[in-house]
């Protein structure tokens, strides 16, 4: 799978270990930064390009990590076509994809350690959207709101 990945200083400690296991698992990873630890960097500078790549289909799924995951989720969801969520447990990692077609996972680098982050990422990447009628109906309502907000 083609994965997009972004982190700011708050998630930087997880960056290299996560990228390493993603690549060893056979995934192709596009790194949107940060390229070095800078305590003054800003999550939107990395998350927005990642979210745009997800929305445009340049990557199949995205993973963003900031300190809490909250800011990354806020930023990602500003990009039309992105369905991002902050996840810190395994159930929502698959349910978000299966029911809501989540395409960008956000994690908090100061909230979860490597083992839990990797477990969540594996569950997220293995999940598939169920395409049930009720899920399609709900996503259509969200898409309609996105269209209205563009005006």
Residues with a known catalytic role: 66
Spatial distance between the Cα atoms of 78 and 64, rounded to a whole number of angstroms: 14
In this structure, the number of other CB atoms found within 10 A of the CB of residue 114 comes to: 13
Strand partners for 4: 30, 62
**Cα first-last separation, the chain:** 34
Strand partners for 66: 108
Spatial distance between the Cα atoms of 69 and 146, rounded to a whole number of angstroms: 22
CB 91 within 8 A of CB 33: no
Spatial distance between the Cα atoms of 108 and 44, rounded to a whole number of angstroms: 15
CB 65 within 8 A of CB 43: no
């Amino acid at each position: 799978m083609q994965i997009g990945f972004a982190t700011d200083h708050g998630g930087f400690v997880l960056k290299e270990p996560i990228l390493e296991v993603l690549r060893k698992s056979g995934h192709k990873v596009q790194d949107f930064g940060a390229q070095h630890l800078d305590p003054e960097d800003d999550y939107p500078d990395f998350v927005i390009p990642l979210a745009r790549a997800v929305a445009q289909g340049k990557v199949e799924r995205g993973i963003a990590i900031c300190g809490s995951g909250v800011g990354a989720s806020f930023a990602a969801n500003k990009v039309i076509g992105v369905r991002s969520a902050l996840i810190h447990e395994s159930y929502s990692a698959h349910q978000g994809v299966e029911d809501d077609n989540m395409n960008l996972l956000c994690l908090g680098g100061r909230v979860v350690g490597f083992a839990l982050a990797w477990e969540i990422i594996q569950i997220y990447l293995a999940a598939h959207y169920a395409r049930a009628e009720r899920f399609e109906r709900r996503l259509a309502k969200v898409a309609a709101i996105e269209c209205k907000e563009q005006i």
